[in-house]
Chain A
Amino acid sequence: MSRLAGRFAELAKEGRAGLVTYVMAGDPDAAQAQAILDGLPAAGADVIELGLPFSDPMADGPAIQAAALRALKAGASTRSALGQLKKFREKDQTTPVVLMGYYNPIYIYGAEKFCKDAAAAGADGLIVVDLPPEEDAELRPYAKTAGLDLVRLATPTTDDKRLPIVLEGASGFLYYVAVLGVTGTRSAVTDEVSAAVARFRKTTKLPIAVGFGIKTPDGAAAIARNADACVVGSALVQQVIEGPAAEAAGRVHGLVKALAGAVRAARAKRTA
């Protein structure tokens, strides 16, 4: 079983949702970024999304845009992101890591070589924001050969007609983008998310992770009652600049702990 499938199976057994934490590779610098990444599992992350920095992140709001530019300014690249993951894997072989980014750096790296190198570095899946099902044939076969799940996104605009196109060939989990908009701006509305999750469950057995617009432990708990996982990104990335750079890891892990506590308690609370 892949690390992702294994982790979602464990979560199902425990009867709780998972916490997916997004951090930007190389942000704010190589050393702090490594410390941030390495400490995520102990702080309570069930799955990690590692952002690949890109100069023009069209689907991201100000927090993640700024993080990408900080990382690039500090010398990060697609290659260094894979290096960061490799180091992480020396200490952690169980936490699934999904690389999330934009297609151009992957295309320039070489789609086939990227998939190979990403798998060798210890990645379990890929999310490529600007590569919809209509265009991902140029990456999918290489991801498959390398044993990487290519995670598909569904959004509030993915209606019943389009859903089968999104699900066709989807693997790992289905990522539901809970708001109309870029990362870190609007807040997800719990009722709408529950309805969407229920709709997806009728058509797919894939675990459903919900992200974009989840900022606080309470917000995460609300989503965790229905979804298989909730994803928090901008709020964590924002912690990087909320104080001295040398203490960035501590701040990020502090918020992860709070989020993990809320997510773990979410369903217990409902049945109590």
Chain B
Amino acid sequence: MTQLNSYRSGPDERGHFGIFGGRYVSETLMPLILEVERAYTAARKDPSFQKELDYYLAHYVGRPSPLWLAERLTKALGGAKIYLKRDELNHTGAHKINSCMGQILLAQRMGKKRIIAETGAGQHGVATATVCALFGLSCTVYMGATDIARQAPNVFRMKLLGAEVKPVTSGTGTLKDAMNEALRDWVANVENTYYIIGTVAGPHPYPMMVRDFQSVIGRETREQIMGFEGRLPDKLIACIGGGSNAMGLFHPFLDDKDVAMDAVEAAGLGLDTGKHAASLQGGRPGVLHGNRTYLLMNEDGQIDEAHSISAGLDYPGIGPEHSWLHEIKRVNYVAATDDDAIEAFKLLSRTEGILPALEPAHALAHVARIAPKLPKDYLIVMNLCGRGDKDIFTIGERLGVKL
């Protein structure tokens, strides 16, 4: 592991984490990106902004989310002691709303009246539509046509919340194409529009800003585990789509050198099949969507399609800070397949009475893999970042059950 004074000081003033990150956007967006950065820098220093955010997180989102000692799961696996950070209990059912709440407060400070977002699983879209309804702002969500088909309940939810859901058929009709389309919208509507990006990706300051807003997960976890155990956990585990729930859990612990961290990418049909979404383990550094990061691509630099049963992990890139943490080896990146995730989904449903979203089911698959071999006093905290209600149709199809 590279020794640095702190792993928490990034990015630099140009938005770089090592060679990753940056602001690779067209000139039309550049002034706006700089404006977002200025506004965020000011808000970050303003105690009244944090106070307002804390208010909404407590009374609307329902934070802090509990840290739950999963006793029956621990017993079933027969090794390490497993805690679940219950971000699936947030209003709207996932961690996405933590960042949406922060960003919509910022958008309002900037005087923006129209909100756009991209979504994969629909969780970020639902969270964005929710905060737009709460504050009475117009909301347009771009969603790949493929994802619309497999996440129908969330599409309907967004519409009920008053958002316009625009299907994206260009490219492969998944999350990356939705992000392209959202960027195209933004270029055409820079004056009145704020783009709420759903993960720790995009041009600077988004990776930093979304991380900061999601870090509430790790800050709470720290306090809660100290309360239960009087010490920090031995290992943190989270799944990776773009990497926001993982950054949120990890970031407050990065300088605690005894806390190990495993992040779980989606291995789809298997890392060796080429049908996966594991950018770090199967990709290489490139430039897309405003930042340099690990990407799935062919030898000509054309972006490849990602594959995962989980729409929320089905993205051929990853946030730039993860690329950096991977290269300096502070975080260990592993993978779980579609099948692993389904098994983990069943395991948690039956041992703890919690249907996990397919995204954190990937993290759970890794927990199930390593926990049995670890001692009973080894503490694992896994981010249960979403609930599985949205996935019951996908799971039903997998299990051959018609709903």
- Decide: A182 and B187 in contact? CB cutoff 8 A: yes
Out of B287, B295, B300, B302, which one reaches A130, CB within 8 Å? B287
Residues in chain A near residue B289, CB distance under 8 A: 56, 58
Residues in chain B near residue A157, CB distance under 8 A: 27-32, 190
Per-position 1/0 for A166-191, Cβ under 8 A of B: 10000000000100111001100000
Per-position 1/0 for B172-184, Cβ under 8 A of A: 0000110010011
Residues in chain B near residue A192, CB distance under 8 A: none
- Decide: A162 and B288 in contact? CB cutoff 8 A: no
Does any Cβ of B come within 8 Å of A103's Cβ? yes
- Decide: A182 and B170 in contact? CB cutoff 8 A: no
Does any Cβ of B come within 8 Å of A217's Cβ? no
Q: A130-B25, A131-B24, A162-B31 given as contacts; is B184 within 8 A of A182 (CB)?
A: yes
How far, in whole Å, are A108 and B294 apart by their CA atoms in the complex? Answer: 12
- CB-based nearest B residue for A158: B27
Per-position 1/0 for B290-314, Cβ under 8 A of A: 1010010101111100000000000
Min CB distance A157 to B, Å, is 5
Does any Cβ of A come within 8 Å of B351's Cβ? no
Out of A55, A58, A155, which one reaches B27, CB within 8 Å? A155
Out of A54, A78, A153, which one reaches B26, CB within 8 Å? A153
Does any Cβ of A come within 8 Å of B322's Cβ? no
- CB-based nearest A residue for B16: A135
Residues in chain A near residue B180, CB distance under 8 A: 56-58
Residues in chain B near residue A131, CB distance under 8 A: 24
Does any Cβ of B come within 8 Å of A204's Cβ? no
- Decide: B302 and A105 in contact? CB cutoff 8 A: yes
How far, in whole Å, are A155 and B25 apart by their CA atoms in the complex? Answer: 13
Q: A134-B14, A158-B31 given as contacts; is B26 within 8 A of A105 (CB)?
A: no
Does any Cβ of B come within 8 Å of A164's Cβ? no
Residues in chain A near residue B288, CB distance under 8 A: 56, 104
Interface residues on A, range: 35 or more
- Decide: B287 and A107 in contact? CB cutoff 8 A: yes
Residues in chain A near residue B25, CB distance under 8 A: 130, 132
Interface residues on B, range: 35 or more
- Decide: B27 and A132 in contact? CB cutoff 8 A: yes
Min CB distance A123 to B, Å, is 18
Min CB distance A262 to B, Å, is 27
Min CB distance A118 to B, Å, is 15
Per-position 1/0 for A28-70, Cβ under 8 A of B: 0000000000000000000000000111111101100100010
Residues in chain A near residue B287, CB distance under 8 A: 102-104, 107, 130
Per-position 1/0 for B266-293, Cβ under 8 A of A: 0000000000000000000011111010
Q: A104-B287, A130-B24, A154-B27 given as contacts; is B14 within 8 A of A54 (CB)?
A: no
Residues in chain B near residue A260, CB distance under 8 A: none
Residues in chain B near residue A185, CB distance under 8 A: 188
Does any Cβ of B come within 8 Å of A23's Cβ? no
Min CB distance A67 to B, Å, is 12
Contacts across chains A and B counted by CB atoms under 8 Å: 118
How far, in whole Å, are A162 and B35 apart by their CA atoms in the complex? Answer: 12
How far, in whole Å, are A102 and B22 apart by their CA atoms in the complex? Answer: 15
How far, in whole Å, are A55 and B304 apart by their CA atoms in the complex? Answer: 8
Residues in chain A near residue B136, CB distance under 8 A: none
How far, in whole Å, are A57 and B289 apart by their CA atoms in the complex? Answer: 10
Residues in chain B near residue A109, CB distance under 8 A: 300-301
Does any Cβ of A come within 8 Å of B114's Cβ? no
- Decide: B30 and A104 in contact? CB cutoff 8 A: no
- CB-based nearest A residue for B300: A77
How far, in whole Å, are A104 and B288 apart by their CA atoms in the complex? Answer: 7
- Decide: B22 and A135 in contact? CB cutoff 8 A: yes
Does any Cβ of A come within 8 Å of B111's Cβ? no
- CB-based nearest B residue for A77: B300
- CB-based nearest B residue for A156: B28
Does any Cβ of B come within 8 Å of A11's Cβ? no
How far, in whole Å, are A103 and B297 apart by their CA atoms in the complex? Answer: 13
- Decide: B31 and A54 in contact? CB cutoff 8 A: no
- Decide: A56 and B303 in contact? CB cutoff 8 A: yes
Which of B187, B299, B303 has most A Cβ within 10 Å?
Answer: B187
Does any Cβ of A come within 8 Å of B189's Cβ? yes
Per-position 1/0 for A216-257, Cβ under 8 A of B: 000000000000000000000000000000000000000000
Residues in chain A near residue B28, CB distance under 8 A: 59, 155-157, 177, 180-181
Per-position 1/0 for B10-39, Cβ under 8 A of A: 000010000000111111111110000000
- Decide: A132 and B23 in contact? CB cutoff 8 A: yes
- CB-based nearest A residue for B22: A135
Out of B30, B188, B301, which one reaches A162, CB within 8 Å? B30
Does any Cβ of A come within 8 Å of B62's Cβ? no
Does any Cβ of B come within 8 Å of A87's Cβ? no
Out of B32, B171, B187, B295, which one reaches A59, CB within 8 Å? B187
Per-position 1/0 for A131-147, Cβ under 8 A of B: 11011000000000000
How far, in whole Å, are A59 and B27 apart by their CA atoms in the complex? Answer: 10
Min CB distance B274 to A, Å, is 16
How far, in whole Å, are A58 and B286 apart by their CA atoms in the complex? Answer: 15
Does any Cβ of B come within 8 Å of A113's Cβ? no
Min CB distance B32 to A, Å, is 7
**B positions within 8 Å CB-CB of A:** 14, 22-32, 170-171, 176-177, 180, 183-184, 187-191, 286-290, 292, 295, 297, 299-303
| 23 A-B residue pairs with CB within 8 Å | A55-B302, A56-B289, A57-B180, A61-B184, A77-B300, A103-B24, A103-B287, A104-B303, A108-B297, A130-B24, A132-B23, A135-B24, A153-B26, A155-B26, A155-B27, A157-B190, A158-B27, A158-B31, A159-B31, A162-B31, A177-B27, A180-B189, A181-B187
Contacts A104-B297, A155-B26, A157-B29 supplied; 15 other A-B pairs, CB < 8 Å: A53-B302, A55-B302, A56-B177, A56-B288, A56-B303, A58-B184, A61-B184, A62-B170, A77-B302, A130-B26, A135-B23, A177-B26, A177-B27, A180-B28, A180-B191
7 tightest A-B CB contacts, nearest first:
A108-B301, A181-B188, A105-B301, A55-B302, A155-B28, A153-B27, A77-B300
